[in-house]
Structure 1
Amino acid sequence: MEDRVDLESLGEQLYTKIYPQHKENAGKLTGMLLELPGSVLIQMLQDESMLSAAVEKAIRALQLQLEPNRVKSKDEEDVSVSSDSLGEQLFELVDVYSTGHSQKITGMLLEQHKDAVLKLLSDPKLLEEQVTLALKTLKEQDEETDISDTSDADEKEKLGEELFSLVEGIDPLHANDITGTCYTKD
């Protein structure tokens, strides 16, 4: 129940900000933006430029939804489903989530079959799920990289300590200098 109240409150705030410039479509645009996660909506309400960019993207998405009713020529159809066009459309929708990884996530999503990408463009819930999954995957990859970097550093430190012990047995007076020189070389 509390989530519903928060969503209604966010919707009212968004509508109030959108209505002055987009009277005819304010309700529809607000509804489209309410498909985004609450944290993104809160950011938009605090950042006018972010809200403006999201509204513009929603307007373009709305226009894309309205265009299928128009009969298109063969050339227009080829252009509308080209990989570049799909990528641009998908990037605009992914970028609304402000993950900081819009390009990477768009690239990941574009690896899917063209029909799956088209479905993402028309289904905001599915797109949100895919963006969340892609972001989770990216974070896991970053964590794995961090762990392997730490392992390498730990391994280097152990080798350095072993080397120092060996050199100290041979030349205790110069062990620090010798080990430091040898240890800094990879």
Structure 2
Amino acid sequence: MDEKEDLETLGEQLYPLIHPKHQENAAKLTGMLLELPGPVLVQMLQDEALLSEAVEKAVRALQLAADSSERTLKEEDDVSTSSDALGEQLFELVDVYNTGHSQKITGMLLEQHRDAVLKLLSDSRLLDEQVTLALKTLEEQIAEETDVGDRSDADETERLGEKLFILVEKMDPLHAGDITGMLLEMDPAVLHQLLSDRAMLELAVHKAQAALEVES
């Protein structure tokens, strides 16, 4: 079964659940929910509370979109719609996607020109594309920040290891590598202290030597 057939099946299951309370807009609401990820839709079918919450969000989004279209038809001045109001309306629409990053994605979309933001409020397909793109960008940023943090920790440990090895090698050339490896398991703050306190370093080396003797 391909993705289109999956969506049709999910739509057929969702529609009867939505129709009793929202007869007039059941088809539109079902269509809006079908823009969400498949696993989320499956979960909704199993969790009445989750489905109800998503439907209510979609209803509010539909109303906001209708209000926005009505204002456009009346050629209402863009200035009359404040940035805060636009942000609130856009957040309601973005929140339907349950990305876990509604606030950040809304902020990213609000960086666009006012006309572009107003277009998002009335064009659900365009909004879907931009939310997906913003989420991808956000996830890449998070992954990059995590990667940089991991690299920084590794670089710091490597630098400390090199400095420690030089000192340890003078005390125990034969076991310098093993002892340095054992010391590097300590907290970085302690390692910095070992580098600046000779007596503390000697004590740590003796303890490591004793441990090595036990192991051997």
TM class by shorter-chain length? 0.7 to 0.9
**Matching residue's letter, 2:139:** K
In structure 1, the partner of 2:191 is 183
Instruction: State yes or no: 1:50 paired with 2:62.
Output: no
Q: Distance in 2 between matches of 1:126 and 1:58?
A: 16
In structure 1, the partner of 2:30 is 30
**Matching residue's letter, 2:31:** G
Q: How far does residue 100 in structure 1 lie from its aligned partner after superposition?
A: 0.9
User: Does structure 2 conserve the Cα–Cα contact (< 8 Å) formed by 1:94 and 1:102?
Assistant: yes
Q: How far does residue 41 in structure 1 lie from its aligned partner after superposition?
A: 2.6
Q: Distance in 1 between matches of 2:112 and 2:125?
A: 17
**Matching residue's letter, 2:23:** K
Task: Report the TM-score, using the length of structure 1 for normalisation.
Answer: 0.80
RMSD, aligned CA: 3.1
Instruction: State yes or no: 1:150 paired with 2:158.
Output: no
Q: Distance in 2 between matches of 1:69 and 1:107?
A: 25
User: Does structure 1 conserve the Cα–Cα contact (< 8 Å) formed by 2:94 and 2:131?
Assistant: yes
| Gap change, CA 1:118 and 1:43, over 3 Å in 2 | farther
Deviations 1:9-40 (A, max 9, x none): 21121111112222233223223333434343
Q: Where do 5+ consecutive residues of structure 1 fail to align? A: none
Q: How far does residue 171 in structure 1 lie from its aligned partner after superposition?
A: 4.3
Q: How far does residue 184 in structure 1 lie from its aligned partner after superposition?
A: 4.3
Deviations 1:77-136 (A, max 9, x none): 82xx22111111111111111111111111111111111111111111111111111111
In structure 1, the partner of 2:161 is 161
User: Does structure 2 conserve the Cα–Cα contact (< 8 Å) formed by 1:18 and 1:30?
Assistant: yes
**Matching residue's letter, 1:7:** L
Q: How far does residue 178 in structure 1 lie from its aligned partner after superposition?
A: 9.3
User: Does structure 1 conserve the Cα–Cα contact (< 8 Å) formed by 2:65 and 2:121?
Assistant: no
Aligned sequence identity (%)? 59
Q: Where do 5+ consecutive residues of structure 2 fail to align? A: 173-178, 194-216
User: Does structure 1 conserve the Cα–Cα contact (< 8 Å) formed by 2:66 and 2:122?
Assistant: no
RCO higher in structure (CA 8 A, sep ≥6): 1
- Structure (1 or 2) with the larger CA radius of gyration: 2
**Matching residue's letter, 1:50:** L
Q: Distance in 2 between matches of 1:82 and 1:156?
A: 48
| Gap change, CA 1:159 and 1:62, over 3 Å in 2 | closer
